[in-house]
Amino acid sequence: MTMAIVSAKGVSKWYGNVIGLNNFNMEVRSGITGIVGPNGAGKSTFFKLLVGTIRANMGEMLVMGKSPWKNPSQLRGIGFCPDYEYLPADLTGVEFLNLAGGLHGLSGQRLASRTAEVLRMVEMTDARDRRMGGYSKGMKQRMKIAGAILHDPKLLLLDEPLSGTDPVVRKELIDMIKALNKDHGHDIIVSSHVLFEVERMTHEVALLYKGRAVATGDISEIRGLMSNHPHHIVIEGQGLVGLAKSLLDRPFTVSVHLWPDRSGLTAEVSRPDELFDSMPSLISETGCQVDSMRSLDDDLESLFKYLAGW
Amino acid sequence: MVRYSSRKLLLNRRWILVVLVAALVGAVMLYTANEGEGTLDQGSTLLNTLVLSFMLPILSLIYGASMIRNEIDDRSITQVVTSPLDRRASYLGYYLSLGMVLAIMLFLIGLVGWACFFLPAGVNSEALEMLLSYSFLLVLGSFVYSSLFLAMGVVLKQPIYLGLLYAFVWEGFVGQLPGAIGKMTIIYYLKVIGAELIPYGNITDFSNGVGVAAVVLLGLTAVLLFAGAWAFREKELP
């Protein structure tokens, strides 16, 4: 078992009455780790604590064994790509990297060769002399990543790097992030509010919800939790009384609520896939007519609520 | 750090404002020289009133209060605070670049005014000495006011309001009042030093005590720099 590069124990952070992280516990090891959660889950707060721009109100946050708050030397080993726009619009890409490199103590030939190398890595060599105000969203994301890896950090923090990009750019960025880990050896923590995007980069995932890590580990374990997540399925049609009775005999059914006008029913099931698989036989057995079927809570928000026990 | 923040200051479009201000000062001084006698006393009074007493605190406020505050607001401060520099050193870098850029701008404004006033009638050694003396005061004042307004920009969310109140009411109005209250302003001590260097115009109204003035300005700058750097280091940047 490798040493944790990030360790959070009982970390809480609040902004006035708003809670960013709430008794947050997590360990991150080498490789790529995905942080998934809806907006407001605490992903950005987590990253800001890691780079020491804010401090925890309670608990202990360690990055490579040291607290990041008021510890600037720690930042030699960390590259940070935030989720917000901060690139100076009137600078060219190469001017921005020269300024960023200067802040990290790079200069002269070393800076020039590293800048050229990083521009190649993010495939921005052709746009190096263009002003960044004219860059597309995908180019800006690449340049932000270039600024984060310029000083060759051990740990790379990418906060929502895919947000606002089109599918083609998203695929290119995902490939690039995987290559940064595989070919260049950076450990990466990457956040997103879309689980399948993170899944394409890594199998090591943490789900955040309302400031807590509600599930961490291999994606297959989390998929298991998801499949056990009770779903409310609404079925509308005619002759549904027989269907309701048959559903109650099935092991995956938790409860069935038949609407007073018999035009529909709401079934709570523990394994929705089994319900969907058995629907053709259920319809044929009971002779009912199904006009529509939909899940009331087939989204990440309801999964997070379930995992958080709310 | 100094190069980084100097460049950001110089790229700022507020340069247009500075050019307009320099043109205004030049026009006023040229007009006065043509309409009046063009004496050393008159030239000194104009440089004191227009540049030292007015432009110096106002430009220092505009550039100083917004320097770090704007970076916090547009989040470009991320680049600085996620680099492996002690924030106190970064703050010193901001301060040095602000002081230098302000000093250069104010020197150029003073130079334009001086040239418009004295060049048409011919320059003598006294006029040249006056230019050097005012330039020294402007450079000194730039670094003192920078320490004040830069710290204000770190501590306050809307530093421009308190800064305007301070620059106009405290430095501009209170600083003109007779008695001990006037000594509570930065401009008073700059003028005390100026009175020692420039024997012309209304700046000579200020009593002697150049040593005390220098110590007060140096001490105040050091205290404000220390307080600003401490506040910047302790500041959370969500």
Check if B11 contacts A (Cβ < 8 Å): yes
Q: What average pLDDT does chain B have?
A: 90
Q: Which residues of B touch A84 (CB under 8 A)?
A: 75
Last residue of a domain, one of A226, A253, A277: A226
Phi, psi of A187 (to 5 degrees): -80, 140
**In a domain? residue A1:** no
**In a domain? residue A127:** yes
Q: Which residues of A touch B11 (CB under 8 A)?
A: 90
DSSP string, B151-217: HHHHH-SSHHHHHHIIIIIIIIIGGGSSSGGGGGSHHHHHHHHHHHH--SGGGGGSPS-HHHHHHHH
Q: Which residues of B touch A88 (CB under 8 A)?
A: 8, 76
User: Minimal Cα–Cα distance from B232 to chain A, Å?
Assistant: 11
**In a domain? residue A172:** yes
Q: Are A212 and A255 in a shared domain? A: no
pLDDT computed for residue B128 by the predictor:
95
Last residue of a domain, one of A200, A226, A252: A226
Last residue of a domain, one of A226, A258, A292: A226
Of A307, A107, A292, A80, nearest to B80 by C-alpha is: A80
Q: Are A249 and A283 in a shared domain? A: yes
Q: Are A213 and A128 in a shared domain? A: yes
pLDDT computed for residue A277 by the predictor:
81
Q: Are A247 and A188 in a shared domain? A: no
Give the nearest chain A residue to B76 (CA atoms): A86
Q: Which residues of A touch B236 (CB under 8 A)?
A: 53-55
Q: Are A138 and A280 in a shared domain? A: no
Q: Which residues of B touch A14 (CB under 8 A)?
A: none
**In a domain? residue A132:** yes
Q: Which amino acid is at B64?
A: G
Q: Which residues of A touch B229 (CB under 8 A)?
A: none
The burial of A110, by beta-carbon neighbours within 10 Å (0-12 exposed, 13-18 middle, 19 or more buried), is given as exposed
Q: Are A284 and A261 in a shared domain? A: yes
How far apart are alpha carbons A113 and A226 in whole angstroms?
47
- Say which of A53, A84, A103 has its CB closest to residue B236: A53
Containing structural domain, residue A286:
229-308
Distance of CA B226 to the CA centre of its chain: 19
Q: Are A196 and A257 in a shared domain? A: no
Mutate to test the interface with B, among A43, A103, A111 (most CBs of B within 10 A): A103
In B, residues 205-234, which contact A (CB 8 Å cutoff)? 233
Q: Are A204 and A257 in a shared domain? A: no
- Number of other CB atoms surrounding residue B15 within 10 Å: 12
Q: Are A105 and A159 in a shared domain? A: yes
**pLDDT tens-digit profile, chain A (310 residues):** 567 899 999 999 999 888 899 999 999 999 999 999 888 889 999 999 999 999 999 999 999 999 999 999 999 999 999 999 889 888 899 999 998 999 999 999 999 999 999 999 888 999 999 999 999 988 999 999 999 999 999 999 999 998 878 778 888 889 989 999 999 889 999 998 877 788 889 989 998 988 888 888 887 777 666 666 667 888 999 989 999 999 998 888 888 999 998 899 999 887 777 887 888 888 888 999 988 887 775 455 566 666 655 5
Q: Count how many domains chain A has.
A: 2
- Say which of A48, A76, A86 has its CB closest to residue B76: A86
Is A147 in Cβ contact with B233 (below 8 Å)?
no
At A254, which CATH number? 3.30.70.920
DSSP string, chain A: -PPPSEEEEEEEEEETTEEEEEEEEEEE-SSEEEEE--TTSSHHHHHHHHHTSS--SEEEEEETTB--TT-GGGGGGEEEE-SS----TTSBHHHHHHHHHHHTT--HHHHHHHHHHHHHHTT-GGGTTSBGGG--HHHHHHHHHHHHHTT--SEEEESSTTTT--HHHHHHHHHHHHHHHHTT--EEEEEES-HHHHHTT-SEEEEEETTEEEEEEEHHHHHHHHHTS-EEEEEEEE-HHHHHHHHHTSTTEEEEEE-TTSSEEEEEES-HHHHHHHHHHHHHHH--EEEEEEESS-SHHHHHHHHHT-
User: Minimal Cα–Cα distance from A139 to chain B, Å?
Assistant: 18
How far apart are alpha carbons A45 and A49 in whole angstroms?
6
Residues of chain B with pLDDT under 70: none
Q: Where are the domains of chain B?
A: 2-234
pLDDT computed for residue B139 by the predictor:
97
CA diameter of chain B: 59
Q: Are A233 and A184 in a shared domain? A: no
pLDDT computed for residue A3 by the predictor:
73
- 0.90 surpassed by complex ipTM: no
Q: Are A215 and A115 in a shared domain? A: yes
At A176, which CATH number? 3.40.50.300
- Token pair for B101: 């850029």
Per-residue model confidence as pLDDT tens digits over B48-95: 999 999 999 999 999 999 999 999 998 989 989 999 999 999 999 999
pLDDT computed for residue B212 by the predictor:
92
**In a domain? residue A243:** yes
- Token pair for A86: 């901060």
Is B84 in Cβ contact with A86 (below 8 Å)?
no
Is B236 in Cβ contact with A88 (below 8 Å)?
no
CA dist list (Å): A99 to A84, A148, B4, B14, B90:
19, 12, 6, 21, 14
- Say which of B1, B78, B80 has its CB closest to residue A82: B78
Q: Chain A interface residues facing chain B, Cβ-Cβ under 8 Å?
A: 15, 45, 48, 51, 53-55, 70, 72-76, 78, 80, 82, 84-86, 88, 90, 99-100, 102-105, 147
Q: Are A157 and A249 in a shared domain? A: no
Compute the count of residue pairs across chains A and B with CB atoms less than 8 Å apart. Answer: 63
Residue burial B32-64, b: 16+ Cβ < 10 Å; e: rest: bbeeeebebebbbbbbbebbbbbbbbbbbbbbb
pLDDT computed for residue A143 by the predictor:
93
β-sheet bridge partners, residue A290: A237
Q: Which amino acid is at A86?
A: Y
